[in-house]
Amino acid sequence: MNRAVCILDQNGVVLHSENSETATPLYSITKTMIAVLVVDLVSDLRRAAGDWLDKNWLPRGGEISIFQLLTHTSGLTDYGGLAAYQTAVAAGDDPWNDRQYADQTLCQPLLFEPGEGWAYSNPGFWVLKRVCELESGKEFASLVQEQIASRFNAPSLHVASGLFSDRLPTYQAGWVWHGLVCGNARDTARFMASNLVSRLNKTLVAVPNAGPLYPNAAYGLGVMGDLSGTNYGHNGSGPGFSTSCFHFPGTRRTVSCFLPYDGPEDAAYMQMQTLAKKFGLT
């Protein structure tokens, strides 16, 4: 696979395309899709996650709101840095089950009191995925198909399972606990340009110490961006691939850039920014 790129103008017309029909694992761009589903299904984002998950799964769920999960301000920890997780993935083991993930993350002490800090949490978005499933009575894969892929005429968007890429002969989708959506650059850009995503950027929280690539970094409801509102979207990174898709409200244009890459997790984001400048999106 070569680099995949799609740039849309304000009317959704393709301005530039490179391999934009090639399906790619989107990794954390999946979070933006989960957020769209949550906002559709839960009218009050201040409700406690404990309204859906009991203390066996989320011991302090009564104190953690849906809003805090969406903005990574819940205090829940992550699993990517755990030695046990890294060892299992490197060995090509089968993914952990929900109970194993929960014991390693959701049931651990919070990093800070809910609402009093910021820390990226993949487990928090697993909780949100479960809220969507419990609220709707449908599996996540069905929700993505019905509420996102069909809604945006974006047929390439689908939830992966098992072994999903020839480039990754031992890596299974279950190692992305909140679910892994795959899709091509065109369909992902079409989704990110939609009004359903723009509403996720209305409320922003500052992200401290995000690094030089992200000045004035902010996070909305499942979307990355900046406090000045220059752009919003999401990056994704994982074995074999780096992905980035952002919308630029000033020009109402959208760019997605997907790379086959095992390197810096921001690789696609850096190329996305270069493309945005080249095509006058900023």
Amino acid at 28: S
| Residues 130, 125: Cα–Cα separation, whole Å | 9
Res 1 pLDDT > 80:
no
- Evaluate whether 207 touches 234 at the Cβ level (below 8 Å): no
User: Confidence class of residue 281 from pLDDT cuts 50, 70 and 90?
Assistant: confident
Q: How do residues 131-151 score in pLDDT, each as one tens digit? A: 999 999 999 999 999 999 999
| Residues 141, 135: Cα–Cα separation, whole Å | 15
* Confidence (pTM): 0.98
| Residues 167, 199: Cα–Cα separation, whole Å | 35
Q: What is the CATH number of domain 4-278?
A: 3.40.710.10
| Residues 209, 176: Cα–Cα separation, whole Å | 25
Q: How do residues 202-243 score in pLDDT, each as one tens digit? A: 999 999 999 999 999 999 999 999 999 999 999 999 999 999
Query: What's the 3-state SS for the chain?
Result: CCCEEEEECCCCCEEEEECCCCCEECHHHHHHHHHHHHHHHCCCCCCEHHHCCCCCCCCCHHHCEHHHHHCCCCCCCCCCCCHHHHHHHHCCCCCCCHHHHHHHCCCCCCCCCCCCCCCCCHHHHHHHHHHHHHHHCCCHHHHHHHHHHCCCCCCCCEECCCECCCCCCCCEHHHCCCCCEEECHHHHHHHHCCHHHHHHHCCCEECCCCCCCCCCEEECCCCEEECCCCCEEEEEEECCEEEEEEEECCCCEEEEEEEECCCCCCHHHHHHHHHHHHCCCC
Cα dihedral: 161, 103, 108, 209 (round 10): -20
| Residues 17, 267: Cα–Cα separation, whole Å | 19
Q: How do residues 57-67 score in pLDDT, each as one tens digit? A: 999 999 999 99
Domain-by-domain residue ranges, the chain? Answer: 4-278
Q: How do residues 5-23 score in pLDDT, each as one tens digit? A: 999 999 999 999 999 999 9
pLDDT for the residue numbered 213: 92
Q: How do residues 74-107 score in pLDDT, each as one tens digit? A: 999 999 999 999 999 999 999 999 999 999 999 9
